[in-house]
Chains A and B, each alone.
Chain A
Amino acid sequence: MLIIGAGPTGLFAVFEAGLLKMKCHLIDALPQPGGQCSEIYPKKPIYDIPGFPEVLAGDLVDNLMEQIKPFEPGFTLGERAETIDKQEDGSFIVTTSRGTKHHAPVVVIAGGLGSFEPRKPPIPSIKDYEDKGVAYIIRDPEVYRDRKVVIAGGGDSALDWSIFLADVASEVSLVHRRKDFRGALDSVEKVEELSKIGKINLITDAEVVDLQGEDELSAVVIRHKDEARGEEIKEVDDFIPLFGLSPKLGPIGDWGLEIEKNAIKVDNTYDYQTNIPGVYAIGDVNTYKGKLKLILCGFHEAAIMCQSAYQRINPDKKYVMKYTTVSGVSGFDGSKKEAKREVVKSIN
C-alpha cells in the first residue's frame, strides 16, 4: 500500500496493514514522520488518545514508530505527492515533487490538513510575477547575486535571509509592517547592525502593496503606515515574501477526487474509499456526515480501510479479522510478539 502522509493516522495504517501481511510505503512533504504532531505541536499534551491519560504529541509519534517497526515501512520524506496515474491493471503510479515514482495497487491518502506551503501575501498581481521576480522560497541564494532584492516579513526566515543575502545581492531591503521583529534575538540584532552600516535597507511600519513590471518584476510599491510618507515605488529585481507556511490540500485537490469543505469525500458507511476505487482517504483529510477530526477517529478509519484494501488486493482470499491477543504480531523482520502461554502449576 502506498500511504500519502506520515502523520499518526498514516503511521497506524502501517500497523493495521501489517497484521494483514500488507507492506506499506509512506510519502510525506515534511522531512520527518509525525505530521502536525511533529511539525506543529510536538511538546503539546494530548488527552484523548484512548488508554493514554496524557501523552505528548511527539511521544505519540515515537510510540507509533516503535509499534510499526516490525512491519518495516518505507519512507520517502521531504517530497510532496504531485500526480496520480491509474494503470490498466487498476494499480496506481504516484509521482512526487522530486520525480520519485511509486507503484502500488492501493493508495491511501492520510494527508491531514494537506502539505505545508508558503503563505502568499494578498497582492492582486502577485501571481503574474511568480518565477518572474517573485519567489516564496529561496532555493539557491546565488540566483540573487548582484541583484536588487526586497524581502518582506518579520519572522526568522525573513531576518536570516536578509542577513545572508546582504553579502550576495547588490541591495537588500527588508520590509516589515511593524518595528518589532519576532525572530531570534541575535538575528534581530544582526539585522539592526547591518542596517546601521547600510548593508540592509530596513523599511518598517510599511507593507508591499503592489507590484509593477512589463513582463518581469521591475518595481514594488511600498505603503508606509505614516500617511505623510504615503507610497513609494522602489525599483527591484526580486521580491521575496517570507510569511511562514500554511497547510494546503495542494495537488491532491486536482486528482479528480470529490472534494467537500476542503476535504476528500469518502464512503464512511463501508470503507473510507473515495470516488476513485482503490484510493482511500483516512484521518483529518477526509469528510463525511458526522466526521470528527480526531486522531482516534483516524485510527479507527485506518483499521476499517485496511480490511477493504486487503480484499481489493486479494479478491479471491477469504479472511476474518483476528485479535492481536490471540494471534500476536508477526513482523516482516521475522520478529514475533505473542502472549506467553504459561502453565502456572500442574496437578499430578
Chain B
Amino acid sequence: MSDVKITIIDREGEAHVIDAPTDMNMNLMEVIRSYELAPEGTIGICGGMAMCASCQCYMLNYQHMLPEMSYEEEDMLDQAFHVEDNSRLSCQIPITDELEGLEIRIAPTTE
C-alpha cells in the first residue's frame, strides 16, 4: 500500500494536504469526495464518466505530467464554466505515484 501527498484547495480557499492511496483504483474526484472537501451533490454528480463538469479542478502544478485529455473530457470542459488553461476534470485523473506533491484547486460550482 502506498499513499501520495496531494494539496487540495477547497472552494472556500482552504488548503488541505491529504494522503491519497495509489492502490485503490481511485481518481482525484473520488479522493476529494472521500475527504469531503466539497459537499456531496456538488462534485462527481455523473459518477466519474466525464459527463458533467462538477469535478472541475485547476492544476496548480504538474499540468504536463497528467494523462492527456480524452475527447469526452475536452468536450465536457468546452461546455463548462470558469474554465482556465489549467482546468481538468478530476474524475479523469487516476491517483498514481507520480502525483506526489500535486497541488490543485477545486473550481467554483455553477447552476
Q: Is the C-beta of A40 less than 8 angstroms from some C-beta in chain B?
A: yes
- For the complex, is B82 an interface residue (Cβ under 8 Å from A)? yes
Q: A40-B46, A182-B74, A182-B75 are in contact. Are A122 and B110 (CB under 8 A)?
A: yes
Q: Which of B41, B45, B78, B83 contacts A155 (CB 8 A)?
A: B78
Cα–Cα, bound, A287→B111 (Å): 21
Question: Do the beta carbons of A243 and B49 come within 8 Å of each other?
Answer: no
Q: Is the CB of B40 within 8 A of A262?
A: yes
- In the complex, residue of chain B having the shortest beta-carbon distance to the beta carbon of A293: B47
| Residue numbers in A under 8 Å from B51 (CB-CB) | 40-41
**Is A113 an interface position by the 8 A CB rule?**
yes
User: Are A182 and B49 in touch, CB under 8 angstroms?
Assistant: no
Residues of B within 8 A of A40 (CB): 46, 49, 51
Contact of A153 with B by CB under 8 A? yes
A154 touches B78 (CB 8 A): yes
Residue-wise, chain B 42-63 has the 8 Å CB interface mask toward A (1 for contact) of: 1001110101101000000000
A155 engages B79 (CB within 8 Å): yes
Contact of A41 among B42, B49, B54, B78 (CB under 8 A): B49
Minimum distance in angstroms from B53 CB to a CB of chain A: 8
Interface size on B, residues (CB 8 A): 22
Quick check: A246 and B41 within 8 Å, CB to CB? no
Decide: A246 and B82 in contact? CB cutoff 8 A. Answer: no
Q: Within the assembled complex, what's the spacing in Å between the Cα atoms of A262 and B46?
A: 14
Query: Which residue in A113, A122, A153 is a CB contact (below 8 Å) of B79?
Result: A153
A261-B39, A262-B40 known; A177-B52 Cβ under 8 A = no
Query: B35 — which chain A residues lie within 8 A by C-beta?
Result: none
SS class, residues of chain B in contact with chain A: loop
Residue on A nearest B46 in the bound complex, by CB:
A40
Count, chain A residues at interface, CB 8 A: 24
CB distance from A185 to the nearest CB of B (A): 14
Please, which residues of chain B bring their CB within 8 A of the CB of A244? 79
Give Cα distance in the complex from A155 to B80, angstroms: 11
Chain B residues in 8 Å Cβ range of A223: none
Residues of A within 8 A of B80 (CB): 243
B108 touches A122 (CB 8 A): yes
Assembly CA distance A331 to B108 (angstroms): 50
**Contact, CB under 8 Å: A263 / B40:** yes
CB-based contact B111/A120 at 8 Å: yes
A39 to chain B, nearest CB (A): 10
Residues in A neighbouring B46, C-beta threshold 8 A? 40, 113
**Which A309-342 residues sit within 8 Å CB-CB of chain B?**
none
User: Cβ of A246 and Cβ of B52 under 8 Å apart?
Assistant: yes
Residue from the list A121, A154, A180 in contact with B81, Cβ < 8 A: A121
Q: Give chain A interface residues in 100-125, CB to chain B under 8 Å.
A: 113, 119-122
Instruction: Point out residues on A near B: beta carbons under 8 Å.
Output: 40-41, 44, 113, 119-122, 153-155, 177-178, 180, 182, 243-244, 246-247, 261-263, 287, 293
20 A–B pairs (Cβ distance < 8 Å), ordered by A: A40-B51, A44-B49, A113-B46, A119-B79, A122-B82, A122-B110, A122-B111, A154-B78, A155-B79, A177-B83, A180-B78, A182-B74, A243-B79, A244-B79, A246-B45, A246-B52, A261-B40, A261-B41, A262-B39, A262-B41
